[in-house]
Amino acid sequence: MAKRTIVSLPGDGIGKNVLEETIRVLDAAGFDAEYVEGDIGWEFWRSEGNPLPQRTIDLLGKHKVALFGAITSKPKDAAFEELAPELQEKGLVYSSPIVGLRQHFGLDICLRPCKSYIGNPLNFVKRGVGDVIEEPAVDVAIFRQNTEGLYGGVEWSDPPEKVYDALMTHPKFVKNFGDTPKEEISVSTRIFTKKATERILRAAFDHAKKYGYKSVTVCEKPNVIRETSGMMYKMAQQIQKEEYPNIELWNTNIDAQMMWLTKNPETYGVIVAGNMFGDIVSDGFAGLIGGLGFACSAQFNPDSGVAVFEPTHGSAPKYADYEISIVNPIAMIESACMMLDFINENGIAANIRKAVAEVISEGKVRTYDMMKMRGRADVVDKGAASTTQMADAVIAKL
């Protein structure tokens, strides 16, 4: 098979460490690829005033598939102060390069699988009947709409007259907020479009069908947020009825779902939600399977095939300067496995996942998070595996 070209976007901090180790694992697993590195992150904000240079966008446009580590972002004042002096007068405003990639390439589907590994000491456990300790096997795939809803950025404080006037046409606005001075009002909108809603629902059902999940759960709040959540659920009912009659459609409210999460997490299969609720429910499930060291994700556009695979965690700046990197590379390795699935290298993905599973179940090699240690430079002296040692252990199993 022709050699694949993969764009590597290490970014900042520990993003660099976990991506480097992951590429070693991919090589060892026999994935025949060439990696071209793209510039992204804080370094490029400081030196060029742009954390996502056009050349990086071009690179991804050309090669389509990227592995992404993590980036650092900082509040407005710090962003300005750290900008190269000659750029400070240019009125540049920092904006997240991840959001930039998402918008530029229309990466509207976000997938965050949460599957527990047997023997992971961080797995969620609970007390069952007769005080027995139960460890539910979690295997959910969360589909989060990635471009709309509360994260769409359509918001105002002290809204412009036209917006205010429009709001005043709604009887509920008049009743509940009509007496409040305009300057004291902040509005964040939650816009759902039929097109994007249909795309995320379809992606969720397709995934359920392809990987044999028996149910798709719409996790929203249609009884209260009637228009947006209501639309999503109604569309889901129609799609299920017409195209996926063999997959059950469930409906949970986000608040109740956060409770069911610890009561019966093993019950759920595919979960689909809007942007905000998808973010919440995926963090909730990630906590059950080991947290940030294990949470992987994909963002993609099914039409163009542009896809970015990344761990959910950030750049953890406090660990970035350790002489020996201590962070867990599994979230990044898992993200790379999602990439392999995406490009139909399922066999290599399965081999890597099997190797990771063996390392975890053996329990001899564990990063500091798996040993419930506080993350400090001396954890390796105290018996925790470094990032490199964890990757080595996985490679040894391959």
394 binds ligand NAI (CB under 6 A): no
Q: How far apart are CA 66 and CA 87, in angstroms?
A: 29
Between 279 and 341, CB nearer to Mg ion? 279
Written as six digits, the tokens of 346 are 């399922």
Select the binding partner of residue 315 from Mg ion, ligand NAI, none (C-beta < 5 to 8 A, by kind). ligand NAI
Residue 49 makes CB contacts below 8 A (sequence gap 6+) with 83, 84, 87, 90, 92
For the segment 157-186, give every residue that binds ligand NAI (CB under 6 A).
Answer: none
Between 218 and 327, CB nearer to ligand NAI? 327
DSSP label of 372: T
Q: How many CB atoms lie within 10 A of CB 99?
A: 16
Which residues lie across from 145 on neighbouring strands? 109
Residue from 122, 316, 359, 384 touching ligand NAI (CB under 6 A): that is 316
Select the binding partner of residue 290 from Mg ion, ligand NAI, none (C-beta < 5 to 8 A, by kind). none
19 binds ligand NAI (CB under 6 A): no
Under 8 Å between Cβ of 392 and 23:
no
Segments in the chain forming alpha helices (H): 14-28, 42-48, 54-63, 76-82, 97-105, 161-167, 171-177, 194-211, 228-243, 254-263, 275-288, 317-320, 330-342, 346-362, 387-397
At position 134, the amino acid (one-letter code) is E
What does the per-residue mask of binding to Mg ion show for 273-312, with x meaning CB under 5 A?
------x---------------------------------
Select the binding partner of residue 72 from ligand NAI, Mg ion, none (C-beta < 5 to 8 A, by kind). ligand NAI
Between 301 and 386, CB nearer to ligand NAI? 386
72 binds ligand NAI (CB under 6 A): yes
315 binds ligand NAI (CB under 6 A): yes
Between 98 and 289, CB nearer to ligand NAI? 98
Q: How far apart are CA 383 and CA 113, in angstroms?
A: 30
Stretch that binds Mg ion, among 61-69, 120-128, 256-264, 272-280 (CB under 5 A): 272-280
Stretch that binds ligand NAI, among 130-138, 171-179, 251-259, 316-324 (CB under 6 A): 316-324
At position 9, the amino acid (one-letter code) is L
Select the binding partner of residue 375 from Mg ion, ligand NAI, none (C-beta < 5 to 8 A, by kind). ligand NAI
Residue 58 makes CB contacts below 8 A (sequence gap 6+) with none
Written as six digits, the tokens of 154 are 């359509």
152 binds ligand NAI (CB under 6 A): no
Written as six digits, the tokens of 149 are 């809803």
Count of residues interacting with Mg ion (CB under 5 A): 1
At position 95, the amino acid (one-letter code) is S
Q: How far is CA 46 from CA 17, 56, 57, 154, 321, in A?
A: 21, 16, 18, 28, 18
Residue from 9, 79, 98, 286 touching ligand NAI (CB under 6 A): that is 98
Select the binding partner of residue 328 from ligand NAI, Mg ion, none (C-beta < 5 to 8 A, by kind). ligand NAI
Q: How far apart are CA 228 and CA 324, in angstroms?
A: 48
For the segment 236-295, give every residue that binds ligand NAI (CB under 6 A).
Answer: 292-293
Residue from 25, 231, 331, 336 touching ligand NAI (CB under 6 A): that is 331
Termini Cα distance of the chain: 21
What is the binding site for ligand NAI (CB under 6 A)?
18, 70-73, 98, 292-293, 310, 313-318, 327-328, 331, 369, 375
What is the binding site for Mg ion (CB under 5 A)?
279
